[in-house]
């Protein structure tokens, strides 16, 4: 009788589970396939760290992350136990009285205790602490699931106290199995479906942050316009979101009070898919406004613990808008500049030539030059940034590095690509690739992190591969032996690399005194490129004591310029300007010098300082190359 009842219950609950899963699987299968497993070793490594070891979950929120990890590891440990209990209850095979099972059952006791502690902590945090990332309302579903998990652990632990054949023992056994069945039926329609899906999404997440494959115009691809255009990984992502809000609280647009919330983007996608709104326009699902508030900083998908990728949805939707001529007005002006003058400012090409001549730059020749210096739109035309480039040239010349530049250079295409104008991006990229191939450099050096990302990553999709390094990395390596380690300088806020591991400063720095500075990591250098130690090493070796701002290193707060927003009319936007928020964070360090390593960060932060008026106080902005060269000259 018991067996029959259990069979009926299993069929009913498993049926409910299967029906809900089937709906989601059908939606994933109906989407255009973009699953990829390229770079398998990287994916396996990430799976081990982020799924099995829960690195990503623990990284940002250590206490809550460890509590979650305890629950996860407990689930894995209990999988076989649950299976054996069901096989026995269903009369298929009884392994519950074997010696190995008894040993296994005993070994689970510490796991059960850990899961219980973990889930009680998470429940208290959700109900009483209520972090803003988890939303304004307490989710009843989360409470029910937490109570289910706690009940499972308690009923398991009671098996050591209640004899198997007794009434209490039988009630306990039934309670355990019924909770598992109810859990099974509840999971697919809840955020707890991530238990099943997140190992898959983490594995399938692109190894490249902000993965934006080229559109194939021969196949008449135009980007994402309607719900049915969403690709398979995007649909899978929508059902995996655990609603933790890490993307939200790390998003600079949301942080500055704008409407964009990356968590909402994923949940709106999920709602639209489940409502069967296949022909609905994505611009109606998300609203046009939010699509243009993204700086493409990458914080959302970089912080997501379950492998969700927001940028392909956001930029894919921008592509859909641009292909229908629906880009904002300010972008129209920038596109015009790119089309007519091949640079974002719309300046005459003669100005680049004037800089090349006045800085005595040679035209690159692979037979005589070690590296090709890529100037970029800022380097070619922006007076302040040209000072920084001149500093870099002085360092290169002093160290005997032979370098040259291209006779002509177009914008790398980043502003076109990240704003969704794929056609313009491909035109610019192809023209540059042709010139680069003709010049034949083995190594490219640039001071613009956006050029590093675009030429290094995006151009690869056209079959062009070249080593491209940011000046912070190149010059740090070049000057390693220039700065002999001298006497100890205490008070250094960071000790992040080989040259500073001993906590020593250079004799050079000692001679000219130490500065207190704060360093702003550019998103495209720190987060996308992972280059966070090199600029700090340089600063410390050349006499700076760094005061770290909140949001630094691989998770910086954006300056607000990325994704084409350099040109947005920010005065009209809701909330604060992203650059203002970042400026205040830098100001709060107490340092009166901000060191930057990206021309666009520099422009944005100077603008924020200017608009802060008297509240902005004394603050100077120095590019890393200018800082280092200045200290070298001083010595």
Least CB distance from residue 126 to ligand SF4, whole Å? 14
Contact criterion met (CB below 8 Å) for 336 and 239: no
Task: Rank residues 255 and 441 by Cβ distance to ligand SF4 and give the closer one.
Answer: 255
Task: Rank residues 205 and 541 by Cβ distance to ligand SF4 and give the closer one.
Answer: 205
Q: State the number of CA atoms in the 13 A half-sphere of 105 facing the CB.
A: 18
Task: Rank residues 266 and 395 by Cβ distance to ligand SF4 and give the closer one.
Answer: 266
Tokens of 617: 């106080």
Least CB distance from residue 41 to ligand SF4, whole Å? 24
Contact criterion met (CB below 8 Å) for 478 and 403: no
**Whole-number Å distance between alpha carbons of 236 and 270:** 9
Least CB distance from residue 205 to ligand SF4, whole Å? 11
Task: Rank residues 295 and 421 by Cβ distance to ligand SF4 and give the closer one.
Answer: 295
**DSSP per residue, 224-265:** --BGGG--HHHHHHHHH-----HHHHH-HHHHTT-S--HHHH
Least CB distance from residue 265 to ligand SF4, whole Å? 7
Task: Rank residues 552 and 626 by Cβ distance to ligand SF4 and give the closer one.
Answer: 552
CA 305 to chain centre: 10
Alpha helical stretches, state H, 440-553: 449-456, 471-478, 507-512, 523-526, 533-541
Least CB distance from residue 301 to ligand SF4, whole Å? 7
Q: How do beta strands 504-506 and 485-488 pair? A: antiparallel
**Whole-number Å distance between alpha carbons of 554 and 596:** 15
From the list 322, 230, 319, the residue with the least C-alpha distance to 27 is 230
Task: Rank residues 298 and 420 by Cβ distance to ligand SF4 and give the closer one.
Answer: 298
**Whole-number Å distance between alpha carbons of 591 and 622:** 13
Least CB distance from residue 227 to ligand SF4, whole Å? 18
**Whole-number Å distance between alpha carbons of 472 and 476:** 6
Least CB distance from residue 284 to ligand SF4, whole Å? 19
Contact criterion met (CB below 8 Å) for 590 and 491: no
Task: Rank residues 146 and 406 by Cβ distance to ligand SF4 and give the closer one.
Answer: 146
Least CB distance from residue 27 to ligand SF4, whole Å? 18
Task: Rank residues 95 and 195 by Cβ distance to ligand SF4 and give the closer one.
Answer: 195
Least CB distance from residue 269 to ligand SF4, whole Å? 10
**Whole-number Å distance between alpha carbons of 350 and 365:** 22
- Using CB under 6 A, list all residues that contact ligand SF4: 241-247, 250-253, 260, 262-263, 266, 294-300, 303-304, 306, 308, 310-311
Q: Which residue has the tokens 């000692």?
A: 510
Task: Rank residues 245 and 497 by Cβ distance to ligand SF4 and give the closer one.
Answer: 245
| Total count of residues recorded for the chain | 635
**Whole-number Å distance between alpha carbons of 209 and 599:** 21
């Amino acid at each position: 009788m018991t067996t029959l009842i259990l069979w009926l219950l299993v069929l009913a609950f498993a049926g409910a589970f299967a029906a809900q899963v089937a709906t989601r699987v059908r939606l994933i299968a109906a989407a255009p396939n973009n699953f990829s497993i390229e770079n398998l070793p990287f994916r396996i490594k990430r799976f081990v760290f982020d799924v099995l070891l829960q690195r990503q979950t623990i990284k940002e929120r250590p206490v809550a992350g460890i509590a979650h990890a305890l629950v996860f590891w407990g689930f894995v440990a209990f999988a076989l136990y649950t299976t054996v209990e069901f096989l026995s209850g269903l009369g298929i095979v009884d392994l519950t009285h074997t010696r190995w099972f008894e040993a296994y059952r005993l070994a689970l006791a510490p796991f059960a205790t850990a899961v219980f502690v973990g889930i009680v902590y998470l429940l208290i945090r959700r109900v009483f602490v209520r972090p803003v990332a988890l939303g304004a309302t307490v989710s009843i579903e989360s409470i029910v699931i937490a109570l289910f998990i706690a009940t499972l652990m308690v009923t398991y632990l009671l098996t050591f106290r209640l004899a198997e054949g007794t009434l209490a023992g039988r009630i306990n056994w039934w309670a355990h199995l019924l909770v598992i069945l109810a859990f099974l039926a509840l999971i697919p329609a809840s955020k707890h479906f991530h238990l099943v899906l997140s190992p898959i999404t983490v594995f399938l997440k692109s190894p490249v942050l902000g993965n934006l494959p080229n559109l194939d115009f021969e196949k008449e691809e135009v980007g994402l316009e309607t719900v049915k255009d969403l690709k398979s990984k995007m649909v899978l992502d929508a059902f995996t979101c655990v609603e933790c809000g890490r993307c939200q609280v790390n998003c600079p647009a949301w942080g500055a009070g704008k409407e964009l919330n990356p968590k909402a983007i994923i949940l709106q996608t999920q709602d639209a898919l489940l409502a069967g709104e296949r022909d609905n326009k994505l611009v109606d699902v998300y609203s046009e406004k939010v699509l243009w508030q993204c700086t493409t900083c990458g914080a959302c998908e970089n912080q997501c613990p379950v492998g969700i990728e927001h940028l392909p949805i956001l930029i894919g939707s921008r592509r859909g808008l641009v292909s229908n001529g629906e880009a904002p007005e300010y972008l129209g002006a920038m596109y015009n500049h790119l089309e007519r003058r091949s640079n974002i400012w719309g300046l005459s090409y003669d100005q680049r030539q004037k800089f090349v001549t006045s800085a005595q730059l040679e035209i690159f020749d692979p037979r005589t030059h070690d590296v090709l210096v890529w100037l970029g739109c800022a380097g070619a035309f922006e007076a302040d940034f040209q000072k920084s480039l001149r500093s870099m040239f002085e360092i290169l010349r002093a160290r005997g590095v032979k370098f040259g530049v291209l006779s002509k250079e177009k914008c790398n295409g980043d502003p076109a690509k990240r704003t969704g104008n794929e056609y313009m991006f491909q035109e610019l990229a192809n023209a540059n690739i042709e010139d680069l191939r003709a010049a034949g450099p083995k190594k490219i050096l640039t001071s613009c992190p956006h050029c590093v990302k675009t030429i290094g990553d995006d151009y690869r999709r056209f079959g062009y591969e070249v080593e491209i390094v940011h000046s912070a990395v190149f010059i740090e390596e070049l000057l390693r032996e220039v700065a002999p380690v001298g006497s100890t300088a205490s008070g250094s806020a960071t000790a992040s690399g080989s040259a500073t591991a001993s906590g020593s400063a250079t004799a050079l720095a000692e001679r000219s005194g130490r500065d207190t500075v704060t360093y702003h990591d550019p998103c495209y250098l720190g987060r996308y490129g992972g280059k966070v130690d090199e600029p700090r090493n340089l600063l410390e070796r050349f006499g700076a004591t760094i005061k770290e701002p909140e949001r630094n290193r691989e998770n910086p707060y954006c300056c607000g310029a990325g994704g084409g927003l350099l040109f947005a009319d920010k005065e009209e936007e809701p909330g604060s300007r992203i650059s203002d928020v970042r400026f205040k964070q830098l100001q709060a360090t107490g340092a009166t010098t901000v060191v930057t390593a990206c021309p666009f960060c520099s422009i944005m932060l100077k603008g924020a300082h200017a608009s802060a008026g008297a509240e902005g106080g004394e603050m100077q902005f120095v590019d890393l190359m200018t800082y280092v060269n200045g200290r070298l000259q001083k010595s």
